[in-house]
Amino acid sequence: MTFNHDNKQFNIRRYPKSENRSLRPWSAADEHVLKYLKKLDIEADTLALYNDRFGLLSCVLNKFDPTTVLDYKSQEKACRMNLDTNKLKTSADRMVTSLTPIPHVVQTAVIKIPKSLDLFRLQLHQLHPHIRAKSTVICSFMTRNFSSNMLAIAEEFYADVQQTQAWKKSRLLILKKKTAVKKAPILNSLKWKEDILLQQYFGVFSAENIDYASQFLMDHIKLEDTDKRILDLGSGNGILAVAMRAQKKDCDIHLLDDSFLAVESSRLNLTDKKTHFHFNDSLDEFADNSFDLIVSNPPFHFEYENNIEVALSLFKQAERCLKNGGRLQVVANQHLNYKTHLRKLFKKVIDIAQNEKYVIYECKNL
């Protein structure tokens, strides 16, 4: 899609691609930020961008040499794709994650407030040491997504928090005058059964409790002697892998997640040498016919969008990576009706368990 700004045209696309043509690679909240930034005197080398999901702001503001904070592999791929398409360059140190220090002081930061307000808090916390006394942090959101917790979190870090008028159903929070914040925790602890304590960074899926769908799946996972190489697909804090490791010590377990903070969390929860971590949004790095078992509680949200396209793409890739006779076990909300889609990919799809809310499918190609 073409985006016009200051008499320049930018060609911006979504990654991953969506069949839903009403989904755009930017929102009015991004346009609102650009309109507001025109009032500011931005110094080159002092701009930081958070949650720029498809890279619109990284492209339009490229002349200021911004640092883009990338927390998802798919976000990194989208930003690189759109920078390349628009023949724009950025240096490697200008792409960091929320856990990596920003390589310069920050005079202006732009944060598109993520759906996870825990992640918003983590990002403000991590940004804080780089902020100057006179810096401005511009936080954008669509008004329908407003929560008073956004203000409360912003006020933990800034003495002056102002909300703008709505424009095209979006608003900005303007944060100034940073407060003296002590180093605060950025990890939650979660108890599982009597004896397992999991850690996860703020913003990683299911911070309050182990997800109920995952609990249901764990009650039914039974590893077989032939399960030598296993993949936990969309692994989050690694709970499914932890449960599998408790059953079998001598298999190789691979964990893959699109979220950097999820992968870093799972590294804290599994430390043996036969567990391997992959920060990726696709299975491209794995050979065909290479896993005996793939287990997944797949995503069905993309920020505020309900979206099963990512899950369907992961199922297709899982089919390629399973050995002949290998199994894919998926837990899902009944209403998602994945069976219809799985039957197009696998010869055999059975329900191995269900309750009033969830179903576990086992898919095989033999």
Give residues in contact with ligand SAM (CB under 6 A): 74, 205-206, 211, 214, 234-237, 239-240, 256-259, 262, 281, 297, 299, 310, 314
CB 242 within 8 A of CB 269: yes
Nearest-approach distance from CB 219 to ligand SAM, in angstroms: 13
Give the angle 147-149-154 at the CA atoms, nearest 5°: 115
CB of 296 to ligand SAM, least distance (A): 7
Task: Report in angstroms how near the CB of residue 32 gets to ligand SAM at its nearest.
Answer: 27
Q: How far is the CB of 115 from ligand SAM (least distance, A)?
A: 12
Beta strand pairing call for 322-333 and 301-302? unpaired
CB-CB contact of 130 with 140 (8 Å): no
**Residue number, 173 or 261, with CB nearest to ligand SAM:** 261
Place of tokens 């179903």: 359
Measured CA to CA, the distance from residue 33 to residue 47 in angstroms comes to 13
Cβ–Cβ < 8 Å for 81, 59: no
Shortest spacing between CB 245 and ligand SAM, in angstroms: 14
Nearer to ligand SAM, 33 or 314 (CB): 314
10/15 with CB nearer ligand SAM: 15
d(CA 59, CA 65): 10
Least distance from ligand SAM to the Cβ atom of residue 206, Å: 5
CB-based burial, 39-52: b 16+ in 10 Å, e otherwise: eeebeeebbbbbbb
Give the CA-trace dihedral at 228, 229, 234, 235, to 10 degrees: 60
Residue with Cβ nearer ligand SAM (131 or 310): 310
Q: 142: phi > 0 → left, psi -120 to 50 → alpha, else beta; which? A: beta
Report how far Cα 81 is from the mean position of its chain's Cα atoms: 18
Give the nearest distance from C-beta 36 to ligand SAM in angstroms: 30
Of residues 230 and 310, the one with the C-beta less far from ligand SAM: 310
Beta carbon nearer to ligand SAM, 111 or 314:
314
**Residue nearer to ligand SAM on the CB measure, 164 or 206:** 206
